[in-house]
Chains A and B, each alone.
Chain A
Amino acid sequence: MFSALLAHRRCLKMNCSLSGAERSRVVNNATVCARRRFLLASPNMKRQRVMYLNAVSRSLRAPVVGFAIHEPVPSDAPQIEAGVDMPYETVHHAILDGWKVIHFPAQRAEGHPEAVGVYGYEFILDQIVDVDE
């Protein structure tokens, strides 16, 4: 849950002009400025979960050949790991699971006819999720 302690710490990060004692009173009595009111009114933080899916064409139904998911919590970047399966067969499967496409890959200009292109067509998707801390 979004604890009072965390809210207090976040307020400090927001360069609030209130003194430390006033901040404590803010947290305890919920008499807050607009920014803090937003934080304290939301026991669960809404954050954006982002996923890259690389498909073999611009079609939503094309096979997915690569992925990376960035969780909306402090963490290291995702890395290459053994034993990992593609989370979705196609971008369309991800949409059915609640992901929203926020970036479609561009139509590519025709490349060199005798050269294999760069890897996959990159779709970027997101989910808005509640984050408990």
Chain B
Amino acid sequence: MLSDHQIASFIINGYTIIEPEHAPNYNEDIFEALRVMPENPGEHIPEALPAITDLLGHPTVVGALTSLLGPGYTRDKGGHIHMNPPHTRAQPWHQDERFGRGHQDRDGDHIRQAMLMYYPQDVTEDMGPTVILPGSHRRVASPESMVTLVNLRGQIFSTVKAGAIVLTHPDIWHAGTGNRSDRVRYMVKFHFSRTQQSAEPSWNHDPANLSEIRLRLDSEHPSTLSRNEYETDHAARVRTWNNIAGSAKMPLKSEAHLGGPWPVSGGATTASRRRRDGVTG
């Protein structure tokens, strides 16, 4: 099970990385099976790659998905094996199926679905790792609005060890990047869905952590936001917690609102104006 802090990090950043203990040679065997696979099986991954069911049933994976989606979650139809061969170029930024195929009902203040990305080999920076933008999962962005975006402040790359799994909110902005190496980089992706609303936290929750969690939801920002966005993003985070925590809800308005140290210089008015305008320096 994930901890309170891992859940808070997922709400803030839109992803978490888990590293299940696999059986010896498990990742190597999966990699080899992918390497000799004659064609992409599309959504029929378990049929073409039976060993992947061990990963889907791994206690660490089940625990993490139960934490995020509640008990009784289901694996969605679909899934995809990504092969990034040598000498490719980066994909554009995108959200998976955000504007099509009946996925318009996803909420920015809930965790109703999750995306799993499994890497069967070590992924280095030159192998075209997946790039994600932390905190982007609450932004609904059409492909059209993303077309001029390239390098973004705070973007991170999935340079992970073999066997690592990146679990993300379904709306996280991501892309495969260019593979500059001479090695093929594989990734197996699945989507999962919540089937019921939680009556209580489905993770390893301790009520004593609530004040710390609240502080993190109020103050941690993986990317620079405009003044409007601080307000809306903050509210959406707390609503997300409340939507998945059942009985462990927290008040929308923080008791510590506007508290904290006095400004060192410039005065509160100046500081507020600069925050409002998103001004730096």
Q: Are A and B genuine complex partners? A: yes
Query: Interface on A for B, CB 8 Å cutoff?
Result: 52, 54-57, 59, 61-68, 76, 78-84, 86, 89-90, 113-119, 122
Q: In chain A, what residue has the closest Cβ to B227?
A: A57
List B residues 70-122 near A (Cβ within 8 Å). Answer: 89-90, 93, 108-109
Interface status of B139 (Cβ within 8 A of chain A) = yes
Sample of 5 A–B contacts (CB below 8 Å): A56-B225, A57-B277, A59-B278, A66-B150, A67-B150
A89 with B281: CB separation less than 8 A: yes
By size class, the interface of chain B is: 35 or more
Distance between Cα atoms of A81 and B90 in the complex (Å): 8
A65 with B152: CB separation less than 8 A: yes
Distance between Cα atoms of A64 and B93 in the complex (Å): 18
Known: A116-B233, A118-B139. A62 touches B277 (CB 8 A): yes
List B residues 10-55 near A (Cβ within 8 Å). Answer: none
B136 with A119: CB separation less than 8 A: yes
Q: Which residues of B contact A117 (CB under 8 A)?
A: 139, 226, 228-229, 232
Distance between Cα atoms of A84 and B157 in the complex (Å): 12
| B contacts with A: majority SS | loop
Q: In chain B, what residue has the closest Cβ to A86?
A: B153
Q: Which residues of A contact B125 (CB under 8 A)?
A: 82-83
Q: How many A-B residue pairs have CB under 8 A?
A: 118
Add 18 more A-B contacts to A56-B278, A65-B224, A84-B151 (CB < 8 A). Answer: A54-B149, A57-B227, A62-B279, A64-B153, A67-B150, A67-B151, A79-B150, A80-B93, A80-B178, A81-B90, A82-B125, A82-B131, A114-B236, A116-B108, A116-B233, A117-B228, A117-B229, A117-B232
B89 with A63: CB separation less than 8 A: no
Known: A63-B224, A80-B150. A113 touches B175 (CB 8 A): no
Interface status of B219 (Cβ within 8 A of chain A) = no
Shortest A63–chain B CB gap in Å is: 4
Distance between Cα atoms of A67 and B89 in the complex (Å): 18
Shortest A89–chain B CB gap in Å is: 6
Distance between Cα atoms of A78 and B150 in the complex (Å): 7
A81 with B136: CB separation less than 8 A: no
Known: A68-B148, A80-B150, A80-B177. A114 touches B280 (CB 8 A): no
Distance between Cα atoms of A44 and B146 in the complex (Å): 35
Interface status of B269 (Cβ within 8 A of chain A) = no
Q: State which of A61, A78, A113 has its C-beta within 8 Å of the C-beta of B279.
A: A61
B232 with A80: CB separation less than 8 A: no
B152 with A90: CB separation less than 8 A: no
Q: State which of B109, B177, B223, B224 has its C-beta within 8 Å of the C-beta of A81.
A: B177
Distance between Cα atoms of A115 and B229 in the complex (Å): 8
